[in-house]
Structure 1
């Protein structure tokens, strides 16, 4: 086992909550004793003095809440890994909007806390590699641009992050894209002659923001939840009253709304 010890910063306005997280972390010898802060302002000072591998952050705090502080950190050059530890589950989606790695509900048990640390350590070990740093830099730049709605160059690749993995997905390999809340599902084309089913990859971005960054004329919107490649459409049929459905080369069936059906029909002209 590596002798390296990771460092953590606990930010919570409740002293008992800070102490509980500190005690939980003390059960894991690969982690150095946690530093404790009662507010975002205190944490900002602590982080200016040293780097931390992990930020364990409460959400409901006075003056500046955890989500706002996390968004501020994400705008920086080297944001730390962040895990929210909170009593309120309604903030889960917003937490992942600021790229939190995990979301613990108080009171958490030892097994759940240990599982969270395993995820964190997997990513930290990857961060030691130059390839991860380069990919993460591209990922953060892409995500900040999407969130800000900046007029950035079109994307040839998407940097997709999941637990312990950063993957570059070529836009050319995407057949269609569907909205999934604060995420999109990237439906990849199967390799020519391959018997494998096409992959579906979850990516943290909104459909409308991603649409602005895709190469022009390569994708068309056919529904409020669907973008697809025009050449992928094989057929169009009526599926109900003012409802339509397109069948793609992959055999996937996607909805087509009445608003866009004229453009889809034009593909067969």
Structure 2
């Protein structure tokens, strides 16, 4: 059974809580166990429910999000904190409080997905090492193919199909990208866009593009792949010594 991440949403606006709860429902690993409508309520609910992570608004009555975060850091079980707010100017203070992420309203799908991935890496157990030696089994045209992960250059998802680009062949399978990403988790694969998963072993160049995005080049591929700006920071951490 997949471990669920116990999640509390704290925001004084009901609509904002409902929207975030709806967006988080697309991630099977997230289990929203409660909601809080004020800073003091967020602290009380955290004491009572013992969440793994708190999505925390900044501007709330009674206590603002920063004060709540400081109080949560004093708990016996300190939850991960993700600030979810319309105010970008508090980001620096948020990271001084060791927040896992700082996402802005209106929520961006890529940004939210990246935040959940950060939570997963911190909370969920690392896949067992023995899985790193297996092959990826895929069914295409009635046959089962077994691929070494090292053979795969990148994968992209479009129109309900995932296309797997290897050094020699291309396979099209009716599998969600999330499924393939999970299977390849023990290997050197990284999501650079909501529709693209690349093998970091073959990255040769990262070039600034526009609006904070980058273009990525892979060894043996002429096409340049787009890296969403929300993935650039973590991508560079994975790539660089």
TM-score under structure 1 length normalisation: 0.45
The structure with more radius of gyration: 1
TM-score under structure 2 length normalisation: 0.50
